[in-house]
Amino acid sequence: MTERLYEDNSYEVAFSSEVTAVKPVKGGAEVVLKETYFFPAEGGQSPDRGTLNGFPVIDVQIRDGEIFHTVGVKDGDEASVLAAFRVGQTATGQVDWEFRFRNMQMHSAEHIFSGLVHTHFGYANVGFHLSENSATMDYNGELTKEQIEALETETNRIIVEGHRITARYPSAEELKTLPYRSKKELTGPVRLVEIEGVDLCACCVPHVKSTSEIGLFKVISFERYKGGTRLHYLAGFRALSHFRECLASLGEAGQILSAKQTDIVPALRNLAAEARELRFRLTSAERELAEAAIAQYHAKRGGVAGEKLSGDALMFLSGDASVARHALDVMEELFDGTCALFIGQDSTYRYFLEHQGGTVTEIGNALKEQLSARGGGKPFSVSGSVQATEEDIRRVLSGFGLH
Ligand SMILES: [Zn+2]
């Protein structure tokens, strides 16, 4: 069993210890020490980082009480890792303090919040995950936005009050009398983490020694999860980094919008209204253009304005779905045969084939077979999409007398 020095002192990060086992693994070596300050992946939390004899510690795992430090190679030299660790010799460890302390802030904050959830609502913390990319707490009951905000405020009040945080292994007899929280049934010695006057919980993870060291707690978002609630949260320096990033993107958004940070929402509303207006005007213009193009085509084919012509029609136009529907209606008013409409640009088209009282199935099939078009419909109405040049499409349709 490796002696877990981090359990008694989560603030010490430099140490020396005897190497008790070394095993080569892919990309480095697995090193076991007599004692360690490296916290392994446990309790839903990712492991500490740092160095052993100057080599990067890329993973720390605990198996049957033994802690395995995975030490990575430096400069691609695999042999040097094994040479640097000999059983019986002393290794020097350095835990990444910045990373450790951020995790301590995050984890202690979780205990306060989970303790309050349990006290006020009786829900248990049934899941916890803390890694560099995510921090989540799961509860087996539903919490509302208002309840979460109240809990968040109370958590920050407890942080400010500076409650002492301690860890110890009570005797089996004492343990039976203590009302502590635990995610699972525990056997053997149980390490209890106490936040004075707030919470008592079974936990194997390093904590800060006073709630005031957490600085800030903030729920970022929450969702319904497995009949309960999952919360994403941040605390301490990680919260600071996050809000710094948020403010930077708000600042950038403000610059793009030429608006003060506090005026970004009204500026976005104006922009959205402007976009709607422009989209409306564009669609109106495209409809008018479509009408004019169809009328011109109709006249070229010998049609008299406003009168239906006997024959087929083929049009290439630009616009959205509403323009397409309108253009098709206009085409069907002016031509009694097959009406083929291709709407789009840059060799990407939505197509519509219609023939009231007739059939367009064969034309649709030809587009599929010869141009890998997609689509379907009824015998008199087929629609879909095709990626092909206007020239290629015209070539296929000319086979059906459409020009
Ligand atoms: Zn814990």
| CA distances from residue 223 to 87, 137, 145, 148, 350 in whole angstroms, order as listed | 50, 11, 10, 11, 39
| CATH architecture for residues 100-253 | 2-Layer Sandwich (3.30)
Q: Would you list the domain boundaries of the chain?
A: 3-95, 100-253, 286-398
Per-residue exposure over 16-42, b if at least 16 CB sit within 10 Å of its own CB, e if not: ebebeebeeeeebbbbbbebbbbbbeb
Angle at 148 between CA 44 and CA 241, to 5 degrees: 60
CA 202–ligand 1 middle distance (angstroms): 7
CA 89–ligand 1 middle distance (angstroms): 34
Encoded amino acid at 234, one letter: L
Chain centroid to Cα 299, Å, comes to: 56
CA 225–ligand 1 middle distance (angstroms): 21
CA 266–ligand 1 middle distance (angstroms): 43
CA 1–ligand 1 middle distance (angstroms): 21
CA 232–ligand 1 middle distance (angstroms): 16
Residue 346 reports pLDDT greater than 90: no
| Residue 174 burial (CB count, 10 A) | 11
CA 47–ligand 1 middle distance (angstroms): 14
CA 201–ligand 1 middle distance (angstroms): 7
pLDDT at 224: 96
- Positive or negative: CA dihedral 312, 316, 321, 323: negative
CA 145–ligand 1 middle distance (angstroms): 24
pLDDT digits (tens, 9 = 90+) for 198-248: 999 999 999 999 999 999 999 999 999 999 999 999 999 999 999 999 999
pLDDT at 195: 98
CA 19–ligand 1 middle distance (angstroms): 29
pLDDT digits (tens, 9 = 90+) for 25-38: 988 999 999 999 99
- Asked whether the beta carbons of 170 and 188 are under 8 A apart, the reply is no
Residue 78 reports pLDDT greater than 90: no
| CATH architecture for residues 3-95 | Beta Barrel (2.40)
pTM exceeds 0.85: no
- Identify the weakest region by mean pLDDT among 61-65, 116-120, 178-182, 183-187: 183-187
| CATH architecture for residues 286-398 | Roll (3.10)
Here the tokens at position 190 are 């149980």
- Asked whether the beta carbons of 206 and 12 are under 8 A apart, the reply is no
Angle at 94 between CA 166 and CA 193, to 5 degrees: 15
Candidates 379, 344, 343, 350; CA nearest to 363 is 379
CA 144–ligand 1 middle distance (angstroms): 24
Chain centroid to Cα 120, Å, comes to: 30
Here the tokens at position 74 are 């430096």
CA 106–ligand 1 middle distance (angstroms): 10
CA 245–ligand 1 middle distance (angstroms): 28
| CA distances from residue 115 to 86, 111, 141, 149, 166 in whole angstroms, order as listed | 45, 6, 14, 15, 15
CA 200–ligand 1 middle distance (angstroms): 10
CA 34–ligand 1 middle distance (angstroms): 24
